[in-house]
Structure 1
Amino acid sequence: MPVHLDSHEPDVDLTPGTAKSDIVAFLYSHPELGFKPNEIEDYLELPHGTVTTTLKRLSDQGFVGKTADSHYHALEHREDLHRYVSSLDQVQRLFDADEFEETTEWNENPEAVDEDELDAEINELEADFEDA
């Protein structure tokens, strides 16, 4: 399918949990601010060399901007990166939700789980997946 070149952004090549992803997430979570490398190091607790090298690469690749006095910042036009960070935030909120912290019978007593019931549920899910 054809794309409009003036608005097309290629897929974001970021892996959650990496320094590259963490730095992008940090900068795009504060789009109105610019940060010096040492401020990013302090906040993310990453080594100096990792931060400076990663920031240079991110800047060279057009993922982040850099001011003349070396403040790194999010780029307003990178909607793909704004969406990526928003997705990370949604996943984090999902895992922070109280419903995941509730104690279940499984947590208290794994032996109480009926293996036949569990197998039946797995088979049902697999059948639904195959039908999709």
Structure 2
Amino acid sequence: MPIHHESHPEDVDLKPGTTKSEIVVFLYQDLDYAYTPSEIAEELDIPKGTATTTLRRLHKCGYVGRMKEGYYHGLNNREDLRRYPQSVAETEALFTTHPDNVDTPEPDLTREADEDATDDGALEAELDELEDEFDV
């Protein structure tokens, strides 16, 4: 998935659509909560081992915090990562609302032609009335 070059933090090595990115987005959506690897795995529908390994790597890189009880959370002091979920959401919205992705019905040209014909007929009648008025 492409990223927005202005809002994507330069010093953050995350690529949207990856497990790392999904976990960061999840943890930074609400900094008031911390989660176990099992809870994150269940929420994101990924294997628990993948969640555990990825969380350890994210913690080692300083992307997420870890409590001694084994809970992981987003970090208040990482403004760049606090903006990241919004950046991903905007990028996804951009590509999911693209006109090529939206099924739009074809216009009913016959109905428009009928309406145009009616309007043309009314205009012709009005013109005839005006011409009659000026001939008097």
> So what's the TM-score if we normalise by structure 2?
0.63
Question: For residue 14 of structure 2, what is the aligned residue in structure 1?
Answer: 14
Code of the aligned partner of 2:102: E
User: Residues 18-29 of structure 1: matches in 2 within 5 Å?
Assistant: 18-29=18-29
CA–CA separation in structure 1 for the residues paired with 2:43 and 2:70: 17
CA deviation map 1:9-30 (0-9, x unaligned)? 8611001111111100110112
CA deviation map 1:54-113 (0-9, x unaligned)? 0011111110001111110000011111122210011233344496524266xxxxxxxx
Stretches of structure 1 that go unaligned for 5 or more consecutive residues are: 1-8, 106-132
Question: For residue 71 of structure 2, what is the aligned residue in structure 1?
Answer: 71
CA–CA separation in structure 1 for the residues paired with 2:48 and 2:69: 18
CA–CA separation in structure 2 for the residues paired with 1:102 and 1:11: 38
Are 2:68 and 1:59 aligned?
no
Aligned residue pairs: how many?
Answer: 97
CA–CA separation in structure 1 for the residues paired with 2:84 and 2:74: 12
Gap change, CA 1:104 and 1:82, over 3 Å in 2: farther
Identity across the alignment (%): 45
> So what's the TM-score if we normalise by structure 1?
0.65
CA–CA separation in structure 2 for the residues paired with 1:68 and 1:54: 17
User: Residues 1-132 of structure 1: matches in 2 within 5 Å?
Assistant: 11-97=11-97, 100-103=101-104
Over alpha carbons, which structure has the higher Rg? 2
CA–CA separation in structure 2 for the residues paired with 1:29 and 1:104: 36
Which segment drifts farther, 58-67 or 87-96? 87-96
